Amino acid sequence: MYIPEKCGLIPFPPISGRTKTKSLNTSLFLRPFGLCEKDLDVDFAQKVRPQLITQILECCTIDKDGKSPDQGFFLDLTMSKRIECLLNIASSGNSSDMPIYLRCLNKACQQMMETGVSMEEFTHVQQKEDKDYCDIRLGCETLSIRRPTGGDQLEWLRYDFTDKDKAVKTMIRTLIRNEEKTLVNQERNIPDEWVKIIDEAMKEFDPLVNFILSVQCPYCGKEDQHEVDLEEILLRRLRKVQLQLLETVHRLAKHYHWSEYQIFSVPPWRRSYYISLLEKEEDR
């Protein structure tokens, strides 16, 4: 049986709102990525990002018996909740800043710069999912739009969109409250001016999906707002962790002639200690 206090596990972020998975997360925990053999099975080269994120969440979400919910649980989570889980997995409970690299938007500068955001700041930005829908006033109409889920992402990838405008309007129709869909059941029923209003409202309603950082360039002094793709940043970070795990397996196998099965039979802290011993020997 897993004991969270002794295994570096953290409670699964609370789920509220419309999702039918709400009652399932009370006994779930998130573990750090890059500790177990199945973490090597995650294919970061796959092009369908929602599937990649789902696979990582399946790997790192366990109950007290070490079992994970089925895939449907993770697809039903909102995109913001999935990002929040990735943040917890990538930080492993560490409150230190997560580095984010940005390029200055000033065309005369365009220098790369580094900023950091702590888990505390991310938690502050993330709104509690206590509202099912965001009510948006559009002239004489009010539309209620929900947060997109992992399942929505996969569904949208099945469409063969001919242009961005059509894609955005299709996504909006997907997220409208069912009883209000008759107002916009055709593409022509979503005026272009509505799209901008809805976009701005959703940025506030779903800040982790629409994450924006205001950063002053240390080189030219210009301050700009940068749109940040948190999913991409976190996936790159976790890919690096997987490569480090592969290197650990390689070094232990080469030195001790252990199989992968034998290596992963050793607790992570002991693997790390063996690696430190090898590094000491190499430094002599």
The pLDDT tens digits for 128-143 are 556 778 999 988 888 8
In terms of domains, do 173 and 247 share one? no
In terms of domains, do 138 and 187 share one? yes
pTM above 0.85, yes or no: yes
Q: Judge contact between 90 and 30, C-beta under 8 A.
A: no
Q: How far apart are CA 97 and CA 233, in angstroms?
A: 14
Task: Kindly tell me if the per-residue pLDDT of 121 is higher than 90.
Answer: no
When pLDDT is averaged across residues 31-59 and rounded to a whole number, the result is 95
Reported as a single tens digit per residue, the pLDDT across 172-200 is: 989 998 766 665 655 456 888 899 999 99
Structure-block tokens of residue 90: 């990538």
In terms of domains, do 218 and 122 share one? yes
The pLDDT confidence band at residue 3, using thresholds 50, 70 and 90, is: very low
Amino acid at 24: L
In terms of domains, do 78 and 10 share one? yes
When pLDDT is averaged across residues 237-263 and rounded to a whole number, the result is 96
In terms of domains, do 253 and 263 share one? yes
Q: Based on the structure, what is the number of domains in the chain?
A: 3
- What is the average pLDDT value for the chain, to the nearest integer? 87
The better pLDDT of the pair 94, 143 is held by 143
Q: Which of 29-43, 92-106, 175-189 has the lowest mean pLDDT?
A: 175-189
Nearest Cα residue to 29 out of 46, 44, 9, 43: 9
Question: What pLDDT does residue 208 have?
Answer: 92
Helix (H, G, I), strand (E, B) or coil at 58: helix
In terms of domains, do 87 and 15 share one? yes
In terms of domains, do 151 and 86 share one? no
Structure-block tokens of residue 160: 């063969």
Task: Kindly tell me if the per-residue pLDDT of 95 is higher than 70.
Answer: no
Reported as a single tens digit per residue, the pLDDT across 148-166 is: 999 999 999 988 878 888 8
Judged by phi (left if over 0) then psi (alpha if -120 to 50, else beta), residue 257 lies in left
In terms of domains, do 215 and 117 share one? yes
Question: What pLDDT does residue 10 have?
Answer: 86
In terms of domains, do 169 and 249 share one? no
In terms of domains, do 83 and 12 share one? yes
> In angstroms, how far is CA 266 from the centroid of its own chain?
29
- Which domain range does residue 219 map to? 99-126+210-228
In terms of domains, do 76 and 18 share one? yes
